[in-house]
Homo-oligomer: A and B are copies of this chain.
Amino acid sequence: MKTAILSVGTEILFGQIVNTNTVYLSQQLNLLGFDVMYHYTVGDNTSRLKEMIEYIFHDCDLILTTGGLGPTQDDLTKETICEAMGDVLVENAEELAYLKSQWKGDREMPSNNIKQAWFPSRATILKNPIGTAPGFALENNGKMVISMPGPPREMTRMFENEVKPLLEKMQDSVIHYRTIRTSGIGESDIEMMVLDLIEQQTDPTIAPYAKDTGTQIRVASKRKTLEEAKAAVDEMVDVLAERMKEYVYSTDDEELVDVVAKKLIDRNLTIASAESCTAGLFASTLAEVPGISQALQRAFVTYSNESKVQELGVKPETLEKYGAVSVQTAEEMATGLYNKSGADICVSVTGIAGPDGGSDEKPVGMVCFGFNYNSAISGGDGSRVVKTIEMRRKDYGRNYNRKFASHRMLLNVNRILDDKELIK
């Protein structure tokens, strides 16, 4: 069923709040097999709201609205929808009694709250036990509006308990999807690897999209039963993952940091970092994952040359000869860290984050990495292996450069854990 989500509220048009309601409803509606075709936002304005509802119905059969159901003067959604759907408001005795019961003791109910007990005569009322504004569903000539309050806590609860059962009755198919995540390769290259499948797609559908840190591929299927949809998606995910194998880090939409942290924790391995340009961003990102204290042993932010020598045992001659940003320094940082900390995997990074400090030979955006790890973790003979990596790439701005460097460290730690060759 062609569906639109309509958010009502001037504060959204001012950019004062992030519209998470629409994200939540989009996910839920898609999972229930509704085709979300449009999102709309309009301010608290009667004529524009009415016009928009009429316009949306030229192409859609269902509108879910959020917001504008409150007691204040500018909350006019209910009145407007009622008019647009050719109905009239009537007082609902049950709702009035409930509303009054919410104002106990010395507090008297403000008179403008009474309008919250008025509903379109043909509406199905949707309960809101954690707020004062109930929602409603209203049908007219095969078109339906479902109207919910704006506060996310009230809206999600109402959706789960009241709206979902209503919607499930309206559907005869289900959608299921999974998302494959890749990194270390561009969107165009990924698309080329699976272009024939994309061109042939009917169901499941295959949609690649680029994120800052890699390309994701969403595989979705719409079938009669969840079982059929799942089977179709799983089969296609296997085919795609096999093609892109080298670059896939999750076939279930997991964050890279979660993938890495889980492996470290499950395999009882420890990690440490020595960071110059990222200045703790790698360690801090890993620390976002609960339970990581078991694996993340320590980290050194060695910004100054002095600290690289004192804390990590980098040789002053190395700094002198090759500079602080060099593969040689990166290697000595990783090795010094490995010797000092005894962690299973030690990573180091030194680079030119910018905007200043670059040269022709060492431009802003150049980052060098060192990896020193116990090769026993990938079935080696227990001796250490050292890899150092130098990368030159475009300068995307200081903080993106730092974020990218931290992500690249995570990516290569993941590849060490999977016994894959490191990305250079």
Could you tell me if B15 and A18 are in contact, using CB atoms closer than 8 angstroms? no
Q: Are A398 and B72 in contact (CB under 8 A)?
A: no
Secondary structure at chain A's binding surface: helix, strand, loop or mixed? Answer: mixed
> Which residues of chain A (277-291) have a CB below 8 Å from chain B?
277-284, 286-288, 290-291
Within 8 A of B (CB), among A1-54: 7, 9-20, 22-28, 30, 36-43, 48, 52
Contact between B301 and A307, CB atoms less than 8 A apart: no
The answer to whether B36 touches A14, judged by C-beta atoms less than 8 angstroms apart, is yes
Please, how many angstroms separate the alpha-carbon atoms of A90 and B101 in the complex?
Answer: 68
Q: Please, which residues of chain B bring their CB within 8 A of the CB of A210?
A: 70, 151
Q: Are B398 and A290 within 8 A (Cβ)?
A: yes
User: Given A70-B187, A299-B301, A400-B153, are A16 and B209 neighbors across the interface (CB < 8 Å)?
Assistant: yes
Q: Is the CB of B298 within 8 A of A311?
A: yes
CB of A42 within 8 A of CB of B38, answer: yes
> Do B43 and A40 touch (CB < 8 A)?
no
In the complex, what's the smallest C-beta–C-beta distance from A401 to chain B, in angstroms? 11
Number of copies: 2
Interface status of A188 (Cβ within 8 A of chain B): yes
A171 contacts B by Cβ under 8 Å: no
- Does A421 sit within 8 A of B, measured CB to CB? no
Which A residues between 309 and 333 are near B, CB-CB below 8 angstroms? 311
CA distance A71 to B208 in the complex (A): 11
A367-422 residues at the B interface, CB under 8 angstroms:
394, 396-400, 402
Closest beta carbon of chain B to A326's beta carbon, Å:
16
- A72 B15 Cβ-Cβ under 8 A: no
Question: Is A356 an interface residue when CB atoms closer than 8 A count as contact?
Answer: yes
In the complex, given contacts A284-B284, A287-B301, what are 19 additional A-B residue pairs having Cβ atoms less than 8 angstroms apart? Answer: A12-B39, A13-B36, A13-B39, A19-B23, A37-B43, A102-B394, A130-B400, A277-B287, A279-B284, A280-B282, A280-B283, A283-B301, A284-B402, A287-B353, A290-B398, A293-B303, A298-B301, A298-B307, A307-B341
A-B complex: 9 closest residue pairs judged by Cβ atoms: A280-B280, A15-B26, A279-B287, A299-B301, A15-B27, A39-B41, A298-B307, A110-B188, A280-B284
Write 26 A-B pairs (CB below 8 A) sorted by A numbering.
Answer: A11-B207, A14-B36, A15-B27, A15-B28, A15-B36, A16-B27, A16-B179, A16-B218, A18-B23, A38-B40, A40-B41, A48-B59, A70-B210, A72-B188, A153-B396, A153-B397, A153-B400, A279-B283, A287-B402, A291-B356, A293-B303, A298-B301, A298-B303, A298-B304, A299-B300, A301-B301
